[in-house]
Structure 1
């Protein structure tokens, strides 16, 4: 570029050409700068998306999966605080006799009720002398102070010795009579059916792997290998399999089910690695609208997550299926014949989670607005929980439906204002794409807003997975599904799973007829327990 005006040419034509050349260079530089700015914006946008993806992956791997405060974590924190308070109180009472005396009265803290069915052992503490301190005469009982404390007898093993005397006739040679040996679950083995039920409950309800149970037994002087316990579990699962099959048949006669799936790592020795199977959960719980069918859940193991598995599981079921947005369920519904339709009701919790992941990063007013509108819908649900299906439908039509109509209009308007590739746009498109299934609850009082029912039923599987890491074999994963189905269904019906399993194992071992298998279901056991006289 020419630096001084005295160096400019005097010829007008040359000067114009020079100015045009400068303008062309400046335009080229501006275009190059604009291109660099665009590239910089693209790279910055991609970088922001990658950081957001990384944040979500970190949260998925190491963070909490729920947007709610984990009650178990809160309980753990409160335990430590309460222990510190108790320690401080005990120290103060030890050093201050007046304070100790002032606290001898009844405490306002909930100590827990002591059930009437527990055995009582009475201890009577007599004074050193019952002679009158004034005249020395005999004194009579005018009343008493009575208190109860809870004690525990550590788990004890006992050996049941079964004797079968042989009878012979002195007159008739070779005539011998002996009672038939009772049938056992583990032939020629040492456990009773009650002990096997204890092992199953500890593993699948209390999430205590077999090797830990073996360690506990060893402390009691009973030396059992983990492989021995595994053999018991496998034989029990084989015996219980028809019960799980029948339970699923009963569930599939329901007009509405929940479905979800969770990973189930399985050891693959041939490939020297762990393969990823799936436990598919199918649940029924009509208690929120006063339905009479008992709650239940069934877990089915499959080596994958494809739609062919859910299609096989739900063969014969037609009605409403409450699910998340996973494509396998959509494939299942779209390929159903008209004679056996399947209607999908989608989950508001899964939709809410999309906006929560945007809002949790901060400074996201649109996501906050979406969360507020979803919260308004849930607030209505709180007022109608436990009411009849028709009462719930009427309230939803009057209160929820207007909110849903406004919500959809808000989605459509907001979608036109946000960048098409943004997470907000993707969340809104998800909502609009699933809208018919999301608002289905407003027209049917039996339907819940979300799939939390089945997600709660999956939590025990996650705890077992955390403790056991993986199943050792596909059959082991199937056993997991069988026993977990029965135990979680018993818990849903308020039945002690160990007592129930001990009862049904004993009956099945002794030839319980399959035509009466419905009488072994947990809800039938619960009715029997209530009808049984209290001893």
Structure 2
């Protein structure tokens, strides 16, 4: 039965696979990620070696295509070989392999990963203790960016690009200024320092979100689902430029 499956895959599904890949690489916007997985050895035992499944998918404004590739490692060759002829935008996390690809690729950073560093640093603290931390404010900036983004999420790409420049960019500028001012005040190698430093290192990629309305910040935050919590838990949001606060569709 296994041989039947392999033969069908080689003779029939490989053509679909090839067409999906060529179609995907013709798109202007891609998303990429990789995650480890365990495999079973020929003798039936579970392998102790970590293997990786790499996934590439089309952007929100294109026909949905999700393409998987299995590799035995997380080495850069996997992404380099797949994307060697690609030119366009590539959404990714902070894995440095994506930052060393071809010059025709513009990497777009992930706000959710920036937020996670701040969130992880304070998740063990009580709500009252969290309010006193640097990381709570960093997390709040991320939540507010998601909140502003939701105001025009359903707009056409051109309109979304225009509104981002008008509404999101001032918040991003305020966040970046805060990061630069805060880093010298944090203890080196502390969780707060690592969170702020990670955000600054990822900023050149994250700010590419402003280049095209088809690009994404990454969805799903608590404040995104409950915008009424903004004032309650992020009172300092009033420090932001007036045109960023309580924006309307």
Category of TM-score, reference length = shorter chain? 0.7 to 0.9
Q: Which residue of 1 aligns with 2:94?
A: 325
Contact 2:135 2:195 (C-alpha < 8 Å) held by counterparts: no
Q: Distance in 1 between matches of 2:59 and 2:214?
A: 10
Q: Secondary structure at the match of 2:218?
A: coil
Q: Secondary structure at the match of 2:40?
A: strand
Q: Which residue of 1 aligns with 2:111?
A: 348
1:378–1:451 distance in 2 versus 1, CA, 3 Å: closer
Q: Distance in 1 between matches of 2:106 and 2:60?
A: 17
Q: Which residue of 2 aligns with 1:495?
A: none
Instruction: Show CA shifts across 1:181-206 (max 9, x none).
Output: xxxxxxxxxxxxxxxxxxxxxxxxxx
Which of 24, 44, 58 is the matching residue for 1:284? 58
Q: Distance in 1 between matches of 2:66 and 2:119?
A: 29
Which of 212, 230, 233 is the matching residue for 2:5? 233
Contact 2:59 2:214 (C-alpha < 8 Å) held by counterparts: no
Q: Which residue of 2 aligns with 1:250?
A: 23
User: TM-score when scaled to structure 2?
Assistant: 0.80
Instruction: Show CA shifts across 1:307-366 (max 9, x none).
Output: 01111111211111100010211222xxx25xxx11111100111111110121112321
Q: Which residue of 1 aligns with 2:218?
A: 450
Per the TM alignment, residue 451 of structure 1 is displaced from its structure 2 partner at its CA by: 8.2
Structure 1: any 5+ residue segments left out of the alignment? 1-227, 288-292, 453-535
Which of 381, 386, 396 is the matching residue for 2:164? 396
Structure 2: any 5+ residue segments left out of the alignment? 221-249
Q: Which residue of 1 aligns with 2:66?
A: 297
Structure 2 counterparts to residues 503-522 of structure 1, below 5 A: none
Contact 1:346 1:450 (C-alpha < 8 Å) held by counterparts: no
Which of 369, 374, 397 is the matching residue for 2:137? 369
Structure 2 counterparts to residues 450-529 of structure 1, below 5 A: 450=218
Q: Distance in 1 between matches of 2:87 and 2:59?
A: 17
1:400–1:451 distance in 2 versus 1, CA, 3 Å: closer
Contact 1:323 1:451 (C-alpha < 8 Å) held by counterparts: no
Contact 1:347 1:451 (C-alpha < 8 Å) held by counterparts: no
Q: Distance in 2 between matches of 1:329 and 1:281?
A: 13
Contact 2:179 2:200 (C-alpha < 8 Å) held by counterparts: yes
Per the TM alignment, residue 269 of structure 1 is displaced from its structure 2 partner at its CA by: 3.9
Q: Secondary structure at the match of 2:151?
A: helix
Q: Secondary structure at the match of 1:396?
A: helix
Instruction: Show CA shifts across 1:449-491 (max 9, x none).
Output: 1388xxxxxxxxxxxxxxxxxxxxxxxxxxxxxxxxxxxxxxx
Q: Distance in 1 between matches of 2:50 and 2:143?
A: 36
Q: Distance in 2 between matches of 1:370 and 1:402?
A: 16
Q: Which residue of 2 aligns with 1:98?
A: none
Contact 1:322 1:347 (C-alpha < 8 Å) held by counterparts: yes
Q: Which has the larger radius of gyration?
A: 1
User: TM-score when scaled to structure 1?
Assistant: 0.38
Per the TM alignment, residue 440 of structure 1 is displaced from its structure 2 partner at its CA by: 1.2
Tell me how large the CA RMSD over aligned residues is. 2.0
Contact 1:263 1:278 (C-alpha < 8 Å) held by counterparts: yes
Q: Secondary structure at the match of 2:55?
A: strand
Structure 2 counterparts to residues 189-268 of structure 1, below 5 A: 228=1, 230-238=2-10, 239-268=12-41
Q: Which residue of 2 aligns with 1:22?
A: none
Q: Which residue of 1 aligns with 2:245?
A: none
Q: Which residue of 1 aligns with 2:243?
A: none
Contact 1:307 1:328 (C-alpha < 8 Å) held by counterparts: yes
1:382 and 2:150 correspond: yes
Q: State the number of aligned residues.
A: 213
Q: Secondary structure at the match of 1:399?
A: helix
Q: Distance in 2 between matches of 1:282 and 1:429?
A: 28
Per the TM alignment, residue 381 of structure 1 is displaced from its structure 2 partner at its CA by: 1.5
Per the TM alignment, residue 270 of structure 1 is displaced from its structure 2 partner at its CA by: 7.4
Q: Secondary structure at the match of 2:57?
A: strand
